[in-house]
Amino acid sequence: MTAFRHSAESLAKLATDGSVPEMRLSEAIAEHLRRTARINPSPAERRSWDRSLPVLARDLVDAGLGGVEMLVEYQLPLTSKRADVVLAGVDRHTGGDAYVVVELKQWSQAELFEGDPELVLVAGSPGGPRLHPVLQVQGYCEHIADFVGALDGESTAIRGVAYLHNAADLDVDDLYVRVQDESTRLFTKTRRGAFLDYLREQFAPRPGADAADRLLTSAVRPSKQLLKLAAKEIKDREQFVLLAEQRLAYEIVLNAVKRARKADSKEVVIVTGGPGSGKSVIALSLLGELSRQGRAVLHATGSRSFTETMRRVAGKGSPKVKGLFKYFNSFTQAERNDLDVLICDEAHRVRETSQTRYTPARLRSDRRQVDELIDAARVPVFLLDEHQVVRPGEMGTVAEIRDRAAARGFRVHEISLDGQFRCGGSRAYEEWVLRLLGLRGDAPALWLGDDHFTVSLAESPQEFDALLRSKLDKGYSARMTAGFCWPWSNPRKDDTLVQDVRIGDWSRPWNVKGDRAVGDAPASALWATQDGGFEQVGCVYTAQGFEYDWNGVVLGPDLVHRNGRLVTVRSASKDPALVRGTTDEQADRLIRNTYKVLLTRGMVGTLVFSTDPETQEFLARLLSSRT
**Residue 485: partners with Cβ closer than 8 Å, 6 or more residues away:** 556, 557, 558, 572, 573, 574, 611
State the chain's mean pLDDT as an integer.
87
Which among 242, 198, 209 is positioned nearest to 102, based on CA atoms? Answer: 198
- Tell me the sheet residues that pair with 499: none
Is the pLDDT confidence value at 107 over 90? yes
Amino acid at 379: V
Grouping H, G, I as helix, E, B as strand and the rest as coil, residue 545 is: coil
Give me the pLDDT at residue 227, please: 42
What is the 3-state composition of the chain as percent helix, strand, coil, each rounded to the nearest 5? Answer: 40, 25, 35
Size of the chain in residues: 627
For Cα atoms 597, 527, 551, give the angle at the middle one, nearest 5 degrees: 45
How far, rounded to the nearest angstrom, does the alpha carbon of residue 180 sit from its chain's CA centroid? Answer: 28
Q: Tens digit of pLDDT for each residue in 610-622?
A: 999 999 999 999 9
Helix (H) or strand (E) holding 568: strand 565-568
DSSP per-residue letters across 142-174:
HHHHHHBGGGTT-GGGEEEEEEETT--GGGSGG
CATH code of the domain in which 275 resides: 3.40.50.300
Relative orientation angle of helices 24-37 and 8-16, to the nearest 10 degrees: 120
Give me the pLDDT at residue 598, please: 95
> Where among 417, 445, 465 does a domain terminate?
417
Q: Are residues 42 and 190 in the same domain?
A: yes
Q: Are residues 199 and 258 in the same domain?
A: no
Amino acid at 315: G
Where would I find the H helices in 335-424?
A: 369-375, 398-406
Q: Are residues 319 and 361 in the same domain?
A: yes
The answer to whether the beta carbons of residues 250 and 271 sit under 8 Å apart is no
pLDDT band at 362; cut points 50, 70, 90: low
Mean pLDDT lowest among 56-70, 208-222, 306-320, 481-495: 306-320
Q: Are residues 394 and 464 in the same domain?
A: no
The answer to whether the beta carbons of residues 184 and 160 sit under 8 Å apart is yes
Q: Are strands 506-508 and 501-503 parallel, antiparallel or unpaired?
A: antiparallel
Domain count, the chain: 3
Q: Are residues 453 and 366 in the same domain?
A: no
> Where among 217, 236, 258 does a domain terminate?
217
CATH code of the domain in which 210 resides: 3.40.1350.10
In terms of pLDDT, which residue wins out, 359 or 525?
525
In terms of pLDDT, which residue wins out, 145 or 16?
145
Q: Are residues 358 and 487 in the same domain?
A: no
- In Å, the largest CA–CA distance within the chain is 82
Q: Are residues 466 and 597 in the same domain?
A: yes
Is the pLDDT confidence value at 231 over 50? no
Give me the pLDDT at residue 627, please: 41
pLDDT band at 390; cut points 50, 70, 90: confident
Q: Which domain holds residue 65?
A: 4-217
> Where among 217, 237, 264 does a domain terminate?
217
Give me the pLDDT at residue 71, please: 96
Rg of the chain over all Cα atoms, to the nearest angstrom:
26
Give me the pLDDT at residue 332, please: 83
**Residue 439: partners with Cβ closer than 8 Å, 6 or more residues away:** 387, 592, 593, 596
Q: Are residues 187 and 61 in the same domain?
A: yes
Query: Residue 162: exposed, middle, or buried by beta-carbon count in 10 A (0-12, 13-18, 19+)?
Result: buried
Q: Are residues 41 and 101 in the same domain?
A: yes
Q: Are residues 173 and 280 in the same domain?
A: no
Cα 280 from Cα 278, distance rounded (Å):
6
Q: Tens digit of pLDDT for each residue in 133-178?
A: 999 999 999 888 877 877 865 668 899 999 999 999 999 999 998 8
Relative orientation angle of helices 427-436 and 584-599, to the nearest 10 degrees: 150
Give me the pLDDT at residue 153, please: 53
Q: Are residues 240 and 273 in the same domain?
A: yes
Exposure b/e, 408-430, CB count within 10 A at least 16 = b: eebebbbbebebbbbbbbbbbbb
The answer to whether the beta carbons of residues 52 and 97 sit under 8 Å apart is no
The answer to whether the beta carbons of residues 189 and 167 sit under 8 Å apart is yes
**Residue 271: partners with Cβ closer than 8 Å, 6 or more residues away:** 249, 279, 282, 381, 382, 383, 384, 414, 415, 416, 417
Q: Are residues 158 and 251 in the same domain?
A: no
Cα 486 from Cα 480, distance rounded (Å):
15
Cα 622 from Cα 8, distance rounded (Å):
41
